[in-house]
Chains A and B, each alone.
Chain A
């Protein structure tokens, strides 16, 4: 187990299918046309010296180290910028090239600090490597000339305006009289919490600038000045933290020296081994190398072979792992009789026995169905599978639900109904082939940043973008990307807008009739077409309620229908509505009507929120479905599980989360096992959640931290982080990625072991010794996973389900030869306005979302240095609405709805339309869900987070609820240490 050193081919791969054969150093090499000579050589194992080239960005040709000789070409061309040609004969090393390269290196080193032994990049420095590669033995120019290295220069003749670079060294030696500031020297910028910028070590290769532009797409960096004065600058010469830099780390990764260096490496030193694992933040599922020294995590480096992220990362996955070792983490189990008692630390055995007895007693007193559980989309597939198994076979009921209830349950319902599979249709690579993109109810640059960067790259190549969102998200206009159309609809009118788009497509004859006739049920289409063609669905008729200009909507519809490969990406702005499922089906209708399903570059792409929300749904976390989305009423499916589990499975669906809470208030639901979810903060109508939890007799919270839900818990089981366990996560593209244990669980057990021990304390008699055995059981019971096992994941890196006998290589794209359900199903999507209406008391519509640096309820990111970017939730309000209420930027305001009220700070911006306000929900102090209502999706109960009628007014302090809650929380978090039994 050593450090994984990925090969840097110097320039990106060519996708050409035409092959070219050339000779390099007497070896015949065949590569795709368009490959650089540098990459072709590296393909054959010949590493040409280089500094400014790296395969994450295009060739630049500035360092002049990669020169080669090519027969028939004059001079010594740069191998990075020279494409291969058939029959080319290349020499990468001879006397002339050696001399030239040494000369170049001498110039670099004459202006570079010679502090290699104390430099943080020591052991990972390409400049050092290249000095070695070219055999640098001497620097003829010396180190005393003009430089960026030394803070001071000799002060000559007292002349303040002296230009030291033009003064001969001999003069300096004889006439120096003291020291003066070296105008070329700049001190280190340590403003970013995660990395430093040391200009004295910069070799001006521009790799960071190009990574920021080409990979991340933020364009936050530039080369300032010219000639010897050139240096990297963030923004307009400000520090990194105050520039547009989003701290994705692409520049740090690209830097060949210690100029941009992780603070963790400066503090710890170079790692000695690495383990490839999967990020535990969002549904993109980026692959990372956890670079370790012993059991200490030195840094997370995005893995180029990761098929979701292709070597890129965002600030969360790359840097925000500090929560894993945060002092707030609870590492010892705790119990208490009443939620008003302080916590008592106990042994694992005592905690588990206590829980098992409580649960069994509750079932004895109140019936088998009086307890239940919630699986976690933050945990692995194996852990989720175990929790639902514990509930179904151990508790003997189907009272299991998951956080997908409050996010993408409408996706599951809508796509299963129309296409036959509860998942997105594409892989992320598909975006590289798309021509027109609709982004609706999603904010990829903040919520799914690595996908956001891949999308922006495609948009810069010329793909067109349509944004449907009440708010002007960054994608609407950001450097080098501009949406062709932004349809700023009123929150809650998604269905009306999508149906109006369908109206234009159908009435203007833009539907793809050949596709529909072949792949869908024609009669159903005809029925749907008749429905959408009704003039009441026209953009002109619906504009009144949607606020979307009819001309823009018509133009957008035409663009999507006629612009080539059309792909739709959507997020919670689609699902978290009373018509969430209808909206998903309206999206599916649009994709089918325009023939945009079943190949690269098209499709319906839900951007899943949690790292493993897709997996949690796949693993049977819903009360009505066993793993693989098979209904509990299906006797054949039950028989499969009953055979392996040796227990009877209830054939009636269990309770959903909101039903569990209702039943608790009514007194029929008494106990719950919650793994890795903070329902008090994340679920709607906080006061109702609190009442439900308070009414239960045994609330078991299994988590990293004493989260808000734990304020109502009787048992706390410490959780483990993704760094402390083996398992798999399934991302938004159905990709099953391995999670690998890189350190011993600080709490003693990985989460799957805790569930296992709890099950056994309840008498289940389970015997798993490794998560791979759980995966084997999943494969044995679930047809879409039947080909999956750990040996195969080890070999392939990852696989996209379905993976079975019919699809042994997995399924990057779904519905290629036909829909899973047979014929694609068109469904009428009648717009029904939500019951949540504005009125004189609550005249504004509140919608919610996320910000780049924070993640969901913030339990993790708030415990990292990411708070440097977003320390509190802010309320965005249009200048017009702000002025009417006398609110200025930064004012403390009260936000009130029919459900409750809270306070937070306002920021005045025209990102939101008049009448619409927006906030994030990352901070428990704000408790945005005190405001949200208990309206929900008609099909799945997914809460209507995205529309709440509210009023905003100036405030001078917290609300009573905020104060009472804080007092209760403080009281609830008291911990008494464990009393050791007398020997």
Chain B
């Protein structure tokens, strides 16, 4: 299911057209590209820059600034684990260590079967129910060791 460069270009052109008239269209476009492709392909950035009449360097500066933008496709499911203070205080580090070892990957890694990618996040705004994480954008709070096991069983196979 690899998209060819011309597929990427065509879809990018549509996305750019959709958001171009916004004030400050760049981030909405990049978000939409990542939502569409699962990552922000470097190969489409020159076209986006040209459409917005900014330089390639500027768009590179923005994309590289945000850790959220991936330069390659992620796994089928993306887990974002909070590593900020409140979650750490509530056992977040142990929870994430368990998660990573069960999946057999490190931060930013993807499981060999391509099912799961785990990324760190610094505060998901869920401090009241720490430790917390997102699974494909859905928040899960009070993630105990049991819950990690259930989660892994659900997403990794």
Contacts and interface: CB of A to CB of B under 8 A. Distances in A.
B53 interface: yes
A412 B13 CA distance: 49
Interface of A: 161, 218-226, 233-237, 243-244, 477-482
Interface string B40-63: 001001100100011111111100
Query: Would you call the interface of chain B mostly helix, strand, loop, or mixed?
Result: helix
Contacts of B18: none
Interface in B53-98: 53-61, 64-67
A365 to B, nearest CB: 65
A869 B64 CA distance: 28
Contacts, number: 58
A225 B55 contact: no
A416 to B, nearest CB: 41
* Max count, chain A CB within 10 A of own CB: residue among B58, B66, B106: B58
Q: Which 6 A-B pairs have the closest CB atoms?
A: A222-B61, A219-B55, A222-B57, A236-B60, A479-B55, A224-B64
Contact of A479 (B58, B61, B65, B67): B58
Q: Which of A222, A224, A480 has the most CB of B within 10 A?
A: A222
Contacts of A480: 53-54
Contacts of A225: 64-65
A222 B60 contact: yes
Contacts of B53: 477-482
Contact of B45 (A161, A226, A233, A236): A236
Interface of B: 42, 45-46, 49, 53-61, 64-67, 106
Nearest to B46: A236
Nearest to B108: A161
Nearest to A226: B65
A234 B57 CA distance: 6
A305 B121 CA distance: 51
A236 B62 CA distance: 11
Nearest to B61: A222
B65 A243 contact: no
29 contacts: A219-B55, A219-B57, A220-B55, A220-B57, A222-B57, A222-B58, A223-B65, A224-B60, A224-B61, A225-B64, A226-B64, A226-B67, A233-B60, A233-B64, A234-B57, A235-B57, A236-B42, A236-B46, A236-B59, A237-B60, A237-B64, A243-B56, A243-B57, A244-B57, A477-B53, A478-B53, A479-B49, A479-B53, A482-B53
B54 A235 contact: no
A247 to B, nearest CB: 15
Contacts of A226: 64-67
A485 to B, nearest CB: 16
A215 to B, nearest CB: 15
A244 B60 CA distance: 13
A160 to B, nearest CB: 10
Given A161-B106, A236-B45, A221 B57 contact: yes
Given A224-B64, A233-B64, A237-B64, 8 more contacts: A219-B54, A220-B55, A222-B55, A222-B58, A235-B56, A236-B56, A237-B60, A479-B58
A466 B106 CA distance: 56
Contacts of B106: 161
Nearest to A237: B60
Contacts of B49: 479
Contacts of B67: 226
Nearest to B57: A222
Contacts of A234: 57
B15 to A, nearest CB: 19
Contacts of A223: 61, 65
A50 B58 CA distance: 26
Query: Which of A220, A237, A479, A480 has the most chain B CB atoms inside 10 A of its CB?
Result: A479
Given A161-B106, A225-B65, A236-B45, A218 B55 contact: yes
A235 B60 contact: yes
Contacts of B54: 219, 479-480
A479 B60 CA distance: 14
A244 B56 contact: yes
A91 B104 CA distance: 58
A221 B61 CA distance: 9
B38 to A, nearest CB: 20
A167 to B, nearest CB: 15
A233 B65 CA distance: 12
A219 B60 contact: no
Contacts of A482: 53
Contact of B55 (A161, A224, A244): A244
Contacts of A243: 56-57
B49 to A, nearest CB: 8
Contacts of A244: 55-57
Contacts of B66: 226
A181 to B, nearest CB: 18
A221 B58 CA distance: 7
Nearest to A160: B106
A288 B55 CA distance: 29
B58 to A, nearest CB: 6
A220 B54 CA distance: 10
Nearest to A159: B106
Nearest to A161: B106
Contact of B58 (A161, A219, A478): A219
B61 to A, nearest CB: 3
B123 to A, nearest CB: 15
Contacts of B60: 222, 224, 233, 235-237
Contacts of A237: 60, 64
A452 to B, nearest CB: 16
A225 B60 CA distance: 9
Contacts of B42: 236
A224 B60 CA distance: 7
Nearest to B67: A226
A236 B54 CA distance: 13
A595 B60 CA distance: 45
B60 to A, nearest CB: 4
Contacts of A218: 55
A770 B91 CA distance: 85
Contacts of B46: 236
B100 to A, nearest CB: 11
A226 B61 CA distance: 9
A432 B65 CA distance: 34
A207 to B, nearest CB: 15
Contacts of A236: 42, 45-46, 56-57, 59-60
Given A477-B53, A479-B53, A480-B53, A233 B61 contact: yes
A477 B59 CA distance: 17
Contacts of B55: 218-220, 222, 244, 479
A927 to B, nearest CB: 36
Nearest to B52: A479
Contacts of A221: 57
Contacts of A235: 56-57, 60
A187 B107 CA distance: 27
A17 to B, nearest CB: 33
A958 B56 CA distance: 38
Contacts of B59: 236
Nearest to B54: A479
B45, B59, B61: most-surrounded residue (chain A CB, <10 A): B61
A450 B150 CA distance: 65
B42 to A, nearest CB: 7
A816 B55 CA distance: 40
A478 B61 CA distance: 18
Residue among B55, B56, B57, B67 with max Cβ neighbours from chain A (10 Å):
B57
A599 B60 CA distance: 42
* Interface core residue of A224, A233, A236, A237 (most chain B CB under 10 Å): A236
